[in-house]
Chain A
Amino acid sequence: MKLSKAQYDEIAQFLGHVQPTRQSLRKLKEKFPSQSQSTLLSIFSQEYQKQIKRTHAKHHTAEAAETYYQRYLNGVMKNAAAPVLLELANEVDFAPSLMARIVLERFLQEREQAIPSKTLINSMLRDPSQIPDGVLANQVYQCTVNDCCYGPLVDCIKHAIGHEHEVLLREMLLEKNLSFIAEDQLRAKGYDKTPDFILEVPVAVEGHIIHWIESKASFGDESSHQAYLQDQFWSYWNRFGPGLVIYWYGFIEELDCHRERGILLKDCFPTDIVTLRHSMAQR
């Protein structure tokens, strides 16, 4: 689903005023019934992440951590079964998973008298059973499960979605009889930057030659697209020539401005594909 910049801005503006909860998501869907759910969800998540990025530093000061930790301790003292950490996160407008991390870090620090390693923290967040305090384990688990934008669970879902779309794309390529080299093969050959698929025989999509296809199971907004251009798309172009990016959850129309230069955006598998007749005859 392609959105104009104006449409996108409207959604983003709406999102600026709401909490990142499932309830908000429902409201969003009601407000913009014509947009697809997955697109809205993707934008929702991205906007929330932007908001978190903006306030991240504020929550990460030593003072803030201390305050949160004390509030957590007080809270569980009153009622260990209450979702203390989750409510604290909601109250200060911070992602529950990240709140859980701050408090967990602080907890471990006090306990071990040393700054805990990142791997340990990550591992505990992934599997709260490892947390040596039962109450905290519960609280952390509650946070990670309730977080719709951060945390190991969400990361995993994102990863799974990405993978699934890659598989879908692969299917479509096979169906169209377009031979390709997949990322893992490329990596094995020692390529330094690898798109999801490189076409062995380039094709023309909507009149533009493409050599590679990258699948993105997210919405292409300005900031993420710029980052992808910088880190990935231009690098692919630099090595393999022009290519196609599929933002399965749509993108802002205005971003599709590098077509002439060799980066094409689509929100679905293209239908207008012209292949080299020569090689088609051989098949």
Chain B
Amino acid sequence: MAAVLELLLREEVAVGAVLRWLRQGPGHRPAEVTGLVSLSLLQKDFVPFLLNFLREQTSQILTNGPSTPAKTPNSKAHGSQRTGSERRAGHKASLGSFLTATPEALPARRGRRKGGSAVSTSGRQVPRDLGRSLAEEEDGKNDSPSWSGGRRKRSEVPLVSARSPPSQLNLNNLEEFPPMGAASVPGGCKPSRRINPTPVSAERPLSKPKTCFTSTPVSQSPAARFSSGSNLEAFSTVQEGNLTSVISSSLQEEREMLKKERCKLLHQASSPAGISLDPGTPTKPSYTRSASLPAESHLVTCADPAKVSCKKQLECLARLYSSCIAENLVPNIFLELFFVLQLLTSKGTSTAEEEEESDLEVNERSKDASGRQHFRSVHNCVYFAVQVLDYQYEIISHLEKGTLKFLAENERIASFSPTLHERLRQAYESSTAKVSLLLPCSVQSVSFQPETDNRSNFPSDRAFHIFKKQRDIFYELLREWEDNHEKTGWDFERVLGNKIRAMMAHLSATCNHSHFARLFQKQLIQMCKGPVGGGASWGDTPDQDVLNMLGPDNLSRLKRLQERFVVPQSIRGPCPPPSFPGCQQFFRDFILSAGSYQFNQHLVDSLCLKILELDGLTLVEHEHSDGEADMDEQDEKKRFTVVLLSLRLLAKFLGFLVFLPYRTVEQPTRDLQDSAVALRNQTLPVLDVLKLLRQSIRDHRSILTVPWIVEFLSLADHIAPFLDYYRKVFCLLLLMVLSEDKEMSFLNKLLILAVLGWLFQVPSVPEELFFATDVRQEGVMVDTVTSAQALDSVPLVDQQLLYTCCPYLGELRKLLASFVAGSGAKNGGFIRKITPTAAESLAPKTSVTQRKLQVELEQAFFHNQPPSLRRTVEFVAERVGSNCVKHIKATLVAELVQRAEVMLQDKVKEEDANHDKLLEEVCAHLYEEGAQALIKGREFCKKKGPEAVRVLLPEETSAAVLNSAEDIAVELATEKACGWLSANIAALIKREVKATFNRMLKVPGLPLPSEDALELRRDCPPGCQHRAPFPSQIINEIKVHNVHFLDVLCVAVGPRDEGEVIDHDWLECLLGRLSQTLRCRKFMCPTSEQQLAKCTVELASLLGESVMIIKSNPTYGLLKLLLSVWKEDFGAPVPVQLMFSRKNIGYLSEVKQREWDLFLFMLHGLVEHDLMRTSEIESCLRSLGELPWPSDFLKELEMLSRVFTSEHRIEEPRTNPRELTRQSLGTVTAQS
């Protein structure tokens, strides 16, 4: 490997030749590369070697560089097993022992134990905690913690080589630098063809799971002690304390500790390998890690083009490297770009500067060209970086505007390459690719939809009511989380865990999981589908109007968010591990806390269904010839964005759920892996992503499918990629990276490359995969077809979407921003709203028509018409059909139900016996009428279908086409509606009737609904102004009056309130207003009216009796008024018989001097106003007589009764009531 580079750098082989050699197969040996022929190496091994070479070469510059940017490439070069194995094979044995004793391995275990004891109170909690810590470690919020376990190792391992003086390295020595793949043979020099994933993992059985190439610099991982296994609590305590303020001091301390530890280890580890190393006295102080003090203390070296040495070699390397990037031979182009930008922005220290000369001398003296330090000076690094950037101009020019701005303003680029500077400036000025600042999302609820959520969707009342509660509890949890999750010390599991599990228990008891899963999923999409989520790792000063929009409340939150952007720790490198940013965290934690198999299963079902639905959507149908194509394109882009983001979200959660049971803290050992693979190869995947991926490639729809499959796979466990099935998926994805799809729109391709590049860096994806040739050969390229649904060639992706899907691309910008001291970049973002589309199924349902020929004719009709016509017709048919059913329900069925109600009311009174039977009878009666639904449905479709089609199709559509379209739409709609109706009408009627019946039975005390309706049907008199006093007011006044009367009656007490005296005028006025109130029906409700009726009866009784005490005459007038109000104004029956109640008559009995004429007057009035019949009054009087009254009272009562009876028998033709009363009065008094 090194030899190839050697030849290149010594200019014995041209760059072009190396490239050709790289591109061609192993057997190909063109004459010009004879120098390479002797090197029987696999070309593919060259790329990783080159990448590592560059990392190693630049390691010192970057180590001493700014502390903010991740030392990604550096650590990658040394840490990644793929490359490390090459070199380390020589001292593999020692490496093994080194890894066993890796400092963080011990604390990791300690951390776990600590966590275990912390939660040992709950037995159930332990596994959940494991899951959570797993999840937590991926949490963007936690910056580095658990991943750093893996990363740390990587940042330490390089010491082995970094400290070894370059002059001592002999890159041609196959012992020390054996070819790739030789790793499995300790000390052996037999070159192997490729890296096989398995031997590599076997080689590090005890190592931490691999993390990304990205590593967080040591200074960023205060919590590193708690590596992957550590539990959340243990972690958070550390994090709170350290992350922010304590950072510098505690870190320094820790670094010292680590240094000592490392020295110890290195001493043991490296000595046997024969590499003389004295870590205590490093030959070059700048090589030691301890020198990587905070960057602020160093001055930025001014890069000078004149000081660049070995330009030729640098140019060679730049060209070679750029070609590898261009040909997609590197796993992640953005990682490389990040590296290049790191070089561009490297800040050489003064020490480095001083030593430079001597180093260069050393290098010059070395005969070994590739061993030379070409990148020892900042000048060289910048020179190389600018060269590469120039080659990668096309990609760079597609970055978002903010990044372009930094590049265009970068003085190093300006001084090293004025042309590139100029091109970048132009690119910046013409760029429209502003990417908006991502705002925190707010919680919105999922709307209640009767079609899916009402009682008829549940097996029982209980299930329905329990779900009602669950829905409310769910949102309560969500609100609680929203309010508190950012507070320190708030713990999801501790606060919400039990509530969630109680909820799950309820769901299980009533089999409501599917309902809840649907709600959960809808809420997930609602809250997280946008570009939001808080995971954005790059930012801008928000526009003022953004702030205005947010209001002061959210401003503080926004500021916190911004702070997170600004603090150096936030630079995590371009390959962060998968995470659940923002609101997604809630959903993940919910799943973990719930720990419910049933719920997970239902959720998986629900997610799969939705994914399939969205993935199959036809998103693009515009015709380029059309004038409105622009508008269409915009719409399509928007729709595509929404669908893509939703898919990615759903797929991430699906991946999370599917691989959750298999997740392990550490990479399993080879043995465990083999048995797990054997076991799991037997099961079928939940969602056939391989099939979907193949289809998408075939149909040119990979731009939609690949991004979500990547999300799905990013959550795979350590074993999954080794399973036969997923291995095929990975192979296919890899082929996509390598294949040249000329058709594909540039940004589309860029998005695919970005997400795939990221996927290959995800910890659980074995790093060897990318370079393994068998993988490349295994994948059989899928034949593609021309599909109407093709998406890949349509420019659907813009920078907004690219950065939304890959927020880590923002790292490039952050890196550049951190370089510009005191940068005041204020090109604020703007907000692009993503309009959500309805979640309704848009997939057209083709009906099965029996007449085959008709179908064929129909197909033919659509064939030559624009696709929108078909879509319109199908859409209309779907809607009209559905509306038809709704209409039938609202009209015919409602009518039938009403009739049933009447029938039931009658019958339920007759026989209390068998309700079910009764219901059955009534329904059977209605079924025949239900058949009308079909006729009415047909009519409806025939009327509505053509209307809709006409509105939706272009005006210019020819009459014939229009007619046909209308006919088909009507036909389809009718088919749909009538099909449904004929199958379901009977059941529908029965269900509705039953529901009504149950309602009827439930409220026996209250008047039946129809009675209610009857009363309320009364209208206000014509011209009513609705100004009458409110019923409540009148009731209240009458109540007060009744109190007065009572007070009056209670002679012993006397009137309580001097201010309130019975005032007859006032009373008359009250009755007048009562009459008004009763006439205006607007504010009347049955209860009010009934109460008024009752109150007035009470009033009448009291009035009569109190009159006897205070002897006041106008009472007759008042009583008359009351009688007329009862008769004329009341809609509800007035319970006048209450006047004969023992209570009311009782008042009378207590009076010494009874005056019966008023009472008689009342009785006559009642008869006269048809309020009571004579016989009714007689019977009331009779029953009164049976009560135990004082004897004298009883006598009088009997007398009264006799008088009343006799008068009414004689006086059938009615006389003036006043005369009548006078007459009877005389009689009664005379007799008493």
Contact = CB atoms under 8 A, between A and B. Distances in A.
Nearest to B464: A192
Contacts of B453: 190, 192
Nearest to B1045: A145
B1146 A138 contact: yes
A159 interface: yes
Interface string A219-240: 0000000000000001101111
B1143 A131 contact: yes
B1036 A134 contact: no
Nearest to B519: A238
A20 to B, nearest CB: 14
A156 B1087 contact: yes
A257 to B, nearest CB: 10
B838 to A, nearest CB: 15
B843 to A, nearest CB: 26
B1138 A129 contact: yes
11 contacts: A22-B1040, A128-B1143, A129-B1138, A145-B1043, A160-B1031, A192-B448, A234-B472, A234-B479, A238-B475, A240-B445, A241-B447
Given A81-B1049, A260-B551, A190 B450 contact: yes
B1039 A153 contact: yes
Interface stretch (B851-859, B1050-1058, B1203-1211): B1050-1058
A271 interface: no
A136 to B, nearest CB: 9
Interface of B: 442-445, 447-448, 450, 453-456, 464-465, 467-468, 471-472, 474-476, 479, 551, 553-554, 1005, 1030-1032, 1035-1036, 1039-1040, 1042-1043, 1046, 1049-1053, 1057, 1082-1083, 1085, 1087-1088, 1091, 1094-1095, 1098, 1138, 1141-1144, 1146-1147, 1150
**Category for how many chain A residues contact B:** 35 or more
A190 B454 CA distance: 5
A190 B1049 CA distance: 52
A164 B445 contact: no
A191 B448 contact: yes
A129 B1052 CA distance: 23
Contact of B1146 (A134, A192, A193): A134
B1035 A241 contact: no
Contacts of A193: 448, 468
Contact of B1143 (A83, A141, A153, A237): A141
Contacts of B1087: 156, 159-160, 163
A191 B450 contact: yes
Contacts of B443: 261
Interface in A142-174: 142, 145-146, 153, 156-161, 163-164, 167-168
A239 B471 contact: yes
A156 B443 CA distance: 39
Given A160-B1085, A239-B448, A146 B1043 contact: yes
Nearest to B1032: A160
A279 interface: no
Contacts of B1050: 81-83, 142
A113 interface: no
Nearest to A211: B447
B475 A167 contact: no
Contacts of A134: 1142-1143, 1146
Chain B facing A: main interface SS: helix
A238 B445 CA distance: 5
Contact of A164 (B456, B1031, B1043, B1094): B1031
A189 interface: yes
A23 interface: yes
A134 B468 CA distance: 48
A239 B1039 contact: no
Contacts, number: 136
Given A153-B1091, A160-B1087, A191-B450, A142 B1142 contact: no
Contact of A160 (B551, B1030, B1042, B1142): B1030
Nearest to A159: B1087
Contacts of A168: 1083
A10 interface: no
Given A129-B1143, A160-B1035, A234-B476, A22 B444 contact: no
A157 B467 CA distance: 34
Contacts of B471: 235, 238-239
A137 interface: yes
A255 B987 CA distance: 48
Interface string A181-218: 00000000111110000000000000000000000000
Contacts of B1040: 22
B471 to A, nearest CB: 6
Given A134-B1142, A191-B450, A192-B453, A164 B1039 contact: no
B464 A239 contact: no
Nearest to B475: A238
Given A81-B1150, A141-B1143, A238-B475, A156 B1052 contact: no
A127 interface: yes
B472 A238 contact: yes
A191 B1143 contact: no
B462 to A, nearest CB: 13
Contacts of A239: 445, 447-448, 471
B1189 to A, nearest CB: 9
A226 to B, nearest CB: 13
Contacts of B476: 234
Nearest to A119: B1005
B1025 to A, nearest CB: 12
A234 B475 contact: yes
Which 6 A-B pairs rank lowest in CB-CB distance, beginning with the nearest? A190-B454, A129-B1141, A239-B448, A160-B1032, A137-B1143, A160-B1088
Nearest to A123: B1005
A212 B124 CA distance: 42
Contacts of A129: 1138, 1141-1144
A79 interface: yes
A174 to B, nearest CB: 12
Given A134-B1143, A191-B454, A192-B454, A145 B1039 contact: yes
A260 B553 contact: yes
B472 to A, nearest CB: 5
A168 B1027 CA distance: 12
A156 B455 contact: no
B454 A189 contact: yes
Interface in A38-84: 79-83
Contacts of B1039: 145, 153, 157
B1190 to A, nearest CB: 11
A79 to B, nearest CB: 6
B898 to A, nearest CB: 12
Q: Which has the most chain B C-beta neighbours within 10 Å: A79, A82, A153, A160? A: A160
A161 B476 CA distance: 31
Contacts of A119: 1005
A167 B447 contact: no
A190 B1138 contact: no
A241 B445 contact: yes
Contacts of A260: 442, 551, 553-554
Given A129-B1141, A192-B455, A234-B476, 17 more contacts: A22-B1057, A23-B1057, A81-B1150, A82-B1050, A129-B1142, A142-B1050, A146-B1046, A160-B1030, A160-B1031, A163-B1087, A190-B450, A191-B448, A192-B448, A192-B465, A192-B467, A234-B479, A241-B447
Nearest to B443: A261
Pick the most buried of A131, A159, A189, A238: most chain B CB atoms within 10 A of its CB: A238
B1030 A81 contact: no
B1088 A163 contact: yes
Contacts of B1035: 153, 156-157, 160
A138 B456 contact: no
A81 B1091 contact: no
Contacts of B465: 192
A239 B1138 CA distance: 47
Contacts of A131: 1143
B1022 to A, nearest CB: 18
